[in-house]
Amino acid sequence: NFMNINSTVRNWEKDTTPYPEPFVEVIDESFKRYVLGNAGMERLYTGSRWTEGPAWFGDGRYLLFSDIPNNRILRWTEETEIVSEYRNPSNNANGNARDNLGRLITCEHLTRRVTRTEFDGSITIIADSFKNSKLNAPNDVAIHKDGAIWFTDPGYGILNNYEGDRSEPELPTAVYRIDPSSGAVAVKATGLVRPNGLCFSPDFTNLYVSDSGSNNPNAIYVYQVSNNGDSLAEGKIFTETGEDSTDGMRCDTDGNLWASAQRGTNSITIYNDSSVLIGRIYLPEVPSNLTFGGHKGNRLFITASRSIYSIYTDATGASLS
């Protein structure tokens, strides 16, 4: 079963593990519909120090992802299955996403800012301060359908010199929103110790935010988004996650939440929109972030420690990247 396989060394270069994929665990019968009986876990790449921030570019058939300590953004190309450098130096980039025009939005630790890469390749700073104080180290980013860019600022990137520059925070940890019209940066949620991964429900009525800074309890929070999209109701626990700490998350089009789970299970843990745990996809390394991609949006890409893993599912990702 998955636990036995998980503890053995799998030959990723020449994998003959029998289907069905042993890393996939159906916990609730409702998860079965998303599991393909003849699709297996693949390791697409290894050779980084700590990967995060996967973003799928369907038009170019490639996946961008950050290798934070190595100060670079890498690109895995579907056609050739080759990984090359997209940006070096990346200012210890972490989270990546595409805005509603398809432009790359990036959180940078070193420069403590959020940037947009324009169509000509130039880089525009879209957030680097709040009320005249420097942001700590933006971590992850999600795009609302109205064009607003939401990001978390948990401060991990200034804790040490490995993923940025060690520095004292000037601001509390927070969830921010960049207004699509004015470009103004505003705090939308505080109170989480280290707000980390974030994603909207497919109908944009809820924002999920993980808090990886508190284990009392380990939890994923949910905030109702106002009708005009510019504010959040008070956050509530969506689910406690036991021994697991959550970083990146994504929703599928059915509203299920696919959440990275570190330290306890090392998995992608899937909850339905009523917080019921329905399935797990185990990883042989510690997962950080995930995204759906591929031509039909049904291919899961997972950044995990030194590597990129992928598995086809019968779910479809809800967001562009």
Q: Which are the contacts of 118, defined by CB distance < 8 A and separation ≥ 6?
A: 103, 124
Quote the least distance from Cβ 15 to Mg ion, whole Å.
Answer: 29
Nearer to Mg ion, 111 or 196 (CB): 196
Q: Mind giving me the DSSP string for 146-215?
A: TS-EEEEE--GGGSSSSSS-----SS--EEEEE-TTT--EEEEE---SSEEEEEE-TTSSEEEEEETT--
Q: How far is the CB of 212 from Mg ion (least distance, A)?
A: 7
Cβ contacts of 262 within 8 Å, gap of 6 or more: 212, 244, 245, 246, 247, 286, 287, 288
Taking the least distance from each CB to Mg ion, the nearer of 21 and 247 is: 247
**CB-based burial, 270-289: b 16+ in 10 Å, e otherwise:** bbbbeeeebbbbbbbbbbbb
CB of 17 to Mg ion, least distance (A): 29
Nearer to Mg ion, 25 or 211 (CB): 211
Give min distance, CB of 7 to Mg ion, in A: 27
Shorter beta-carbon distance to Mg ion: residue 62 or 156: 156
Instruction: Give the residue with the Cβ less far from Mg ion, 20 or 69.
Output: 69
CB 21 → Mg ion: shortest distance, Å?
26
Tokens of 95: 């989270």
What three-state secondary structure class fits 37?
A: coil
Binding site for Mg ion (CB under 5 A): 139-140, 196, 247
> What is the smallest separation between the CB atom of 58 and Mg ion, expressed in angstroms?
23
Nearer to Mg ion by C-beta: 140 or 163? 140
Tell me how far apart the alpha carbons of residues 111 and 187 are, in angstroms, rounded to a whole number.
19
